[in-house]
A and B are shown apart, each in its own frame.
Chain A
Amino acid sequence: MKIALALIASFFSVVLITENNGPVLQDPDQVLQIQKGIDNNLFAEDNEKCLVCHGEPYFELADTATGVIRNRLMCDDYHVDRDEFYQSNHWSFACTDCHSYDFEIFPHPVSTRLEEPYHCNDCHGYDEQYARYQFEEIQIEYEESVHAEIDGFSCWKCHDPHSYEINIRNSTSLGKTILYDNNICLECHANFDNFQLLTDKEEIKVIDSHGWLPNQSAHFTSVRCIECHTGINESILVAHKLLPKDKAVKRCTECHSSESRLLATLYKFQSKEFRADVGFINGIILNQSYVIGANRNIILNVLSFIIFAGVILVIVVHLFFRIIRRA
């Protein structure tokens, strides 16, 4: 099965590149350029077999024996949005690449429904094409995170199989990326229905448990939850080791200082490219945010120091003459 998938995947890249009419490229960055969307998915027609029901707000429940057909609601949790799916990372897939063919049977048999889903690394592990994502390192980090202990948790819980799209790596708007990433967490931490599926714990009110943080809305729209809740990992772009709550960042100066940890987390991608040695002012931060204590304008600092010293000097000289002249 794995081999078959790998074949499908590589077959794709070839087909799609040739369709692109451009030069044949092996660079995965260039493969990304392929237009996503339903029109370029080779299995779009097959997928409709599932999406007739899962892509619609309701489905037809039919009794083959009597011929009675009734409309039934497709509950939201089983809904797969076509547009999101065909824009996601796994947009080029057939539903049955990940799901058993037995789902073509309806009602879906219990054994099929309890099938263990693939792990990300079944496909991505030790694959050179995805080496820059460092899936193996992420896996290790995940296994040490607080969520990994929860029965039924997996990478899929944060990376929705039908809509997950890489974000910060291609980000043109930091604000949108922060929103996207935080919504991942809020899917459970602001929605008790999803939360209680995984734990017997009482509901955690995120707003209340962060009551100590002033300007909460400004913070939650300008940093991601993971800025405070994960350890720093230099080798991957998005740290995945979610620490227990008592290890979360609470000290303001972790961010509000010239050595801001945001340089190693949120601004990592940008800061590597733009960060000037003299100060913190760089493209992305200048344009999209201002972090008290971290943004320092060297020129203004030096200028203010000179002015201040100048004023003191004038006063001292004046005082000196007042004393010797007894004025």
Chain B
Amino acid sequence: MTRRLYLYPVWIRIWHVINAILFLILIFTGVSMQFAGSGGEFSLIRFDQAVAWHNVSAIILTFNYVVFIIGNVATTNSRHYRIKKENFWADLFAQLKFYAFGMFKKEKHPFPVTYEQKFNPLQKISYVLAMYVGMPVLIITGFGLLFPEILVQQFFGVSGLLITDILHITMGFILSVFMLIHIYTCTLGDKPATLFKSMISGYHEEHE
């Protein structure tokens, strides 16, 4: 028996695929700029092209992010992003324990996917942090670098641009690590490809 649940509405799927592609471009061009070498010994892509691609992708990403926010305000998808205080740490720990030991002992999922709850506690907290803390910081600092005239010139004697940039690359790095873990945990479904299929078809599938 397969249980099918429609959990990923079309707009989420479109948002997500655009988001993922732009993120890959942004990481690629961002790393290329950060480690640019003058002789081309480490230039993934020409610097000026990297800048152009990075800027254009970032602007589209920002619009896309707004779509995500509006979508989650306007639809019931937001129910999956509400963090409950009770049992917060205990639930998180239970999920971690499952990933670390339980799943190897063929234990049952501590938080089975339901219509009410498509994310397990670990997914939930990481998505909330990524989408509501990481992305805003990344976008705001990114726009600061694009329009440096809006930045504070000096902050306790250190260039505002430097602080902004450090924040930007640090957050970019953290979100890149998030993405790596995210992609890996997405292979932890019923079968390794199950969750990716859900993100395409919209349906969550599970053998009873």
* A-chain residues with CB within 8 Å of residue B36 when the two chains form the complex: 252-253, 256-257, 292-293
| CB pair B104 A259 closer than 8 Å | no
Asked if B104 and A311 sit within 8 Å, CB to CB, the answer is: no
Q: Mark A285-311, 1 if CB is under 8 A from B, else 0.
A: 011111011011100100010011001
Most central of B37, B106, B162, B165 by chain A CB within 10 Å: B162
**CB-CB contacts of B167-196 with A at 8 A, as 1s and 0s?**
001100100010011001000000000000
CA distance A214 to B49 in the complex (A): 11
CB distance from A91 to the nearest CB of B (A): 32
- B184/A315 in contact, CB under 8 A: yes
Kindly identify, within residues 193 to 244 of chain A, every residue whose CB is under 8 Å from any CB belonging to chain B: 212, 214-215, 217-218
Identify the closest chain A residue to B157 (Cβ).
Answer: A287
A267: min CB distance to chain B, Å: 14
Residue B148 at the chain A interface, CB threshold 8 Å: yes
Given contacts A253-B43, A300-B166, A300-B170, contact A289 B33 (CB under 8 A): no
| Contacts A257-B37, A287-B157, A307-B177; A293 near B47 (Cβ below 8 A) | yes
Query: Does the CB pair A214–B51 fall under 8 Å?
Result: yes
Number of B residues near A (Cβ < 8 Å) is 37
Residues of B1-56 contacting chain A, CB below 8 A: 33-40, 43, 46-48, 51-52, 55
Q: Which of B33, B37, B38 contacts A292 (CB 8 A)?
A: B33
Contact A311 B177, beta carbon cutoff 8 Å = yes
Chain B residue nearest to A315 (CB atoms) is B184
Are A256 and B162 interface neighbours, CB within 8 A? no
Report yes or no: A290 in contact with B159, Cβ–Cβ below 8 A: yes
Q: Which residues of A contact B166 (CB under 8 A)?
A: 297, 300
Chain A interface, >50% SS class: helix
Minimum C-beta distance from B110 to chain A (A): 15
B residues adjacent to A (C-beta < 8 A): 33-40, 43, 46-48, 51-52, 55, 99, 103-104, 106, 146, 148-149, 154, 157-159, 161-162, 165-166, 169-170, 173, 177, 180-181, 184
The 9 closest A-B pairs by CB, nearest first: A252-B47, A293-B36, A257-B38, A290-B161, A290-B162, A325-B104, A253-B38, A259-B38, A257-B36
Additional A-B contacts beyond A253-B40, A288-B159 (12; CB < 8 A): A217-B149, A251-B47, A252-B46, A256-B36, A257-B38, A258-B38, A259-B39, A290-B165, A311-B181, A315-B180, A315-B181, A327-B106
